Amino acid sequence: MMHGMSAGGPRKLKPGTVRRVIATFRPYKAQALATAVTVVVAVLLGLLPPWFLQIIIDQGLTRKDLHIVTVYSIWTIVATVAASALTLLYGYWSVLIGQRIMVDLRNNLFDHLQGMSLRFFTSTKTGEIQSRLISDVAGVQTAVSDAATNTLSNLALVVTTIAAMLFFDWRLTLLSVGVVPLFALVGAKVGGWAQRIRRGTQEQTAELNALMQETLSVSGVLLTKTSGRKDLVTQKFRSENAKLAEWQIKGQVVNYVFFGLMRMIFSLVPALVYWLAGWLMARGDQSITVGVLVAFTALQSRLFFPLTGLMSAQVEIMGSMALFERIFDYLDMRQDITDRPGAIALEPSQVRGEVRFENVSFRYDDETDAHTLNGIDFVAEPGQLVALVGPSGAGKTTLTYLIPRLYDVNEGSVKIDGIDVRDIKLESLGKLVGAVTQETYLVHTTIKENLRYAKPDATDEEIVEACKAAAIHDHIAGLENGYDTVVGERGYKLSGGEKQRIAIARAILKNPRILILDEATSALDTRSERMIQASLGRLMKGRTTFAIAHRLSTILAADQILVMDKGRIVERGRHEELLALGGLYSRLYHEQFEREPESALEETDAPSLMAPASELA
């Protein structure tokens, strides 16, 4: 097993990793300095008891002087208690600094990930992201909280203890410190193994986290149960779990090997020291007394423990460096959607809502030449309803992603009121554009808090009015806890129609200038859809709206219909004009829309939607 661990050799650290780790302490350098001073004082106090012990034996016990024994015993107690108190103090400070650095790391990593584009999240497992944010940061906590302080403490202990040992006898000291190179050799070898094992363990932990995220979510459990493949998922979990166990076994073996060697050295060296002292005393050397030997032995044990701590810290720090590198890997990822220099902030009241696509081309993978969108040109006037129609995969949703800059165009430009969206601050753009999508996402909290995602300072009255407009208030009021009802993970305690009506209420609360409706009523039954058509009409009034629709009522209400196929706009116009062309729209109409009963359209509670949206303004 040990051979297997060393086969690949320890991975070399990237240049600058150690410097970046040290830089994490910079905001807390005053506290770190105070901790270091306290460590040194505590170490110096710890040197006093062995010296007092030598005096107690040689000047007190051998001469039967109770006064000396009493006085120096009291001083020994005082020094020991003071050193212990200072040890507790610097231990607390080191934990406090370490935890604050952990908070900074998590905050910086989370903020950086929030700035990544959708491209990153669609190509990275959620479990992997969570592992970096939680497991990796937690993994370096010991190194930051304890290793730095312990290393300083142990280093100070070694230096001061060797100095004190030299004071008593240089020959015994020379024998004792002769094992230091052996300590260093063992620590370096084991540290190399630990670094590789720590990285492997964390990478496998990320794999297991990703698998659990996928299979133990509500969606994952539903897939497993409805497909009847519990055995497949279970086998996959057992396989990944076994791989993690293998890495953890290797880590434990490294610990046992390291501490086993240290224990062996502890047992051998004192015996050698006693033999040398006995040999010198037998030859008549008067410089070594019983008190000197007892004090030296006490110092010797004081030397070996910090030496072990230094070697253990070496193993821990080398292992933690692998985790720091994984964290830095994410922090170094380029954010491809950022504010341009000089980007402006726009308030919704300043925006009319004109949206213009000028020769826009876009592809998801920059390494391929295949465009998802190609040569898109159109203008949506303020307050217009633009319906996007086309077969699956035509690029309709992708087109809407470019308006709020979920992705950036490869060629051309998207403009709002003549301003390129890349020249508008992202925070400002987020306020201008609202969306109601087919897959409504609700977080595991109350209905009220889900609605406040749109407007954090919304009053209860505003929330109720928005829900009334979305025809969901009566249902919420009928729940046992009303607006304080917890919706469950991804809102699974609510039906699809209820979730979408909450999403529409959220959009009403946000009050954006530009609205995107991506199959916004697809999860609603006929009655629910009729209830919500009027609220959608009010929501769209005065706003530029893009609707990806498979319902004839929405298409008939559009000021312009853009028919898309294979990433291009192949037809555009009003319903009657496009039918007359006899092209793709006509075919889609006869295949999908013609079957909608005219009576359903006539019975809707929102007949105004049958007129162009621009006429509603």
In this prediction, residues 108-113 reach a mean pLDDT of 87
Residue 266 has pLDDT above 70, yes or no: no
For 573, phi and psi rounded to 5 degrees? 150, -165
Indicate whether 327 and 370 sit together in one domain. Answer: no
- Determine the pLDDT at residue 148: 72
Specify the higher pLDDT residue, 121 or 529. Answer: 121
The per-residue pLDDT for 187 is 64
**Using CA of residue 187, residue 192, residue 195, residue 200, what is the dihedral sign?**
negative
What tens digit of pLDDT does each residue of 241-262 get?
Answer: 888 888 888 878 877 777 776 6
Question: Are the CB atoms for 486 and 445 separated by under 8 Å?
Answer: yes
Confidence of residue 599 (pLDDT cuts 50, 70, 90): very low
Q: What is the pLDDT of residues 336-370, one digit of tens each?
A: 888 999 999 998 888 999 999 999 999 887 655 56
Q: CA-CA distance, 142 to 601, in Å (whole number)?
A: 66
- In angstroms and rounded to an integer, the radius of gyration of the C-alpha atoms of the chain is 36
Domain-embedded: residue 423: yes
On whether both 28 and 133 belong to a single domain, the answer is yes
Do the domain assignments include residue 489? no
Cβ-Cβ contacts under 8 Å for 197 (sequence gap 6 or more): 5, 247, 250, 251, 254, 319
> Span 441-470, mean pLDDT?
87
Shared-domain flag, residues 259 and 293: yes
**Confidence at 529, pLDDT banded by 50, 70, 90:** low
Give the model's confidence band at 7: pLDDT under 50 very low, under 70 low, under 90 confident, else very high. Answer: very low
What range defines the domain where residue 606 resides? 348-441+514-616
* DSSP 8-state symbol, 12: P
- Would you place residue 382 in the very low, low, confident or very high pLDDT band (cuts 50, 70, 90)? very high
Same domain, 364 and 322: no
**pLDDT above 70 for 179:** no
Amino acid identity of residue 517, one-letter, is L
Q: What is the mean pLDDT of residues 179-185?
A: 67
Integer Cα distance of 364 and 226 in angstroms: 32
Greatest mean pLDDT among 206-220, 408-422, 481-495, 585-599 lies in: 408-422
pLDDT at 495: 77
Query: Would you state the pLDDT for residue 598?
Result: 46
CA atoms within 13 A on the CB side of 404: 20
- pLDDT (tens digit, 9 = 90+) per residue, 392-409? 889 999 999 999 998 999
- The residue-averaged pLDDT of 72-76 equals 90
Q: Which of 300, 331, 362 is the last residue of a domain?
A: 331
Question: Would you say residue 453 lies in a domain?
Answer: no
Q: Is pLDDT above 50 for 410?
A: yes
Are residue 315 and residue 352 in the same domain, yes or no? no
**320 and 352: one domain?**
no
Q: Are 42 and 69 members of one domain?
A: yes
**Contact predicate 59/65, CB 8 Å:** yes
For the chain, give the mean pLDDT: 80
Per-residue pLDDT, 381: 94
Express as a percent the part of the chain with pLDDT over 70. 82
Say whether both 375 and 231 belong to one domain. Answer: no
Q: Is the pLDDT of residue 378 over 90?
A: yes
Parallel, antiparallel or unpaired: strands 411-416 and 419-420: antiparallel
Residue bearing the bigger pLDDT, 530 or 193: 193
pLDDT of residue 544: 93
Asked whether residue 323 is domain-assigned, the answer is yes
Kindly state the helix (H) or strand (E) to which residue 386 belongs, with its residue range.
strand 385-389
What is the total count of domains within the chain?
Answer: 2
Cα 327 to Cα 344: distance, rounded to the nearest angstrom: 32
pLDDT for position 613? 43
In a domain, 508, yes or no: no
Look at residue 275 and tell me if it is in a domain. Answer: yes
pLDDT score at 610: 35
The CATH number of the domain where 400 resides is what? 3.40.50.300
Q: Is the Cα dihedral 389, 395, 397, 402 positive or negative?
A: negative
Q: Which helix (H) or strand (E) holds 67?
A: helix 66-114
Q: Indicate the pLDDT class of residue 520, thresholds 50, 70 and 90.
A: low
Give residue 2's pLDDT band: very low, low, confident or very high (50, 70, 90): very low
pLDDT digits over 540-572, tens only? 778 899 998 767 777 888 899 999 999 999 999
- Helix residue ranges, H only, 511-594: 526-540, 552-557, 575-581, 584-588
The pLDDT score that the predictor gives to residue 614 is 44
> How many CB atoms are closer than 10 A to CB 616?
16
125 by DSSP, 3-state: which? coil
CATH number, domain containing residue 93: 1.20.1560.10
pLDDT on residue 201? 82
User: How does residue 142 score in pLDDT terms, banded at 50, 70 and 90?
Assistant: low
Beta bridge partners of 545: 385, 515
Between CA 514 and CA 521 the distance in angstroms is 18
Q: Is 491 inside a domain boundary?
A: no
Instruction: Tell me how far apart the alpha carbons of residues 247 and 241 are, in angstroms, rounded to a whole number.
Output: 10
Q: State the average pLDDT over residues 478-493.
A: 81
The answer to whether residues 327 and 356 belong to one domain is: no
Q: Distance between CA 101 and CA 96 in Å, rounded?
A: 9
Contact status, residue 567 vs residue 393, Cβ threshold 8 Å: no
Rounded to whole angstroms, the Cα distance separating 314 from 585 reads: 69
225 and 261 fall within a common domain: yes
> Considering the entire predicted model, what is its pTM?
0.67
- Residues of the chain with pLDDT > 90: what percent? 18
| Predicted confidence (pLDDT) at residue 29 exceeds the cutoff of 90 | no
From 284, 302, 331, give the residue that closes a domain. 331
**What is the pLDDT, as a whole number, of residue 454?**
84
Residue linked to tokens 């555009």: 572
Domain match, 263 and 384 both: no
Same domain, 311 and 400: no
Nearest to 300 by CA among 174, 184, 183, 156: 174
Residue 451, in any domain of the structure: no
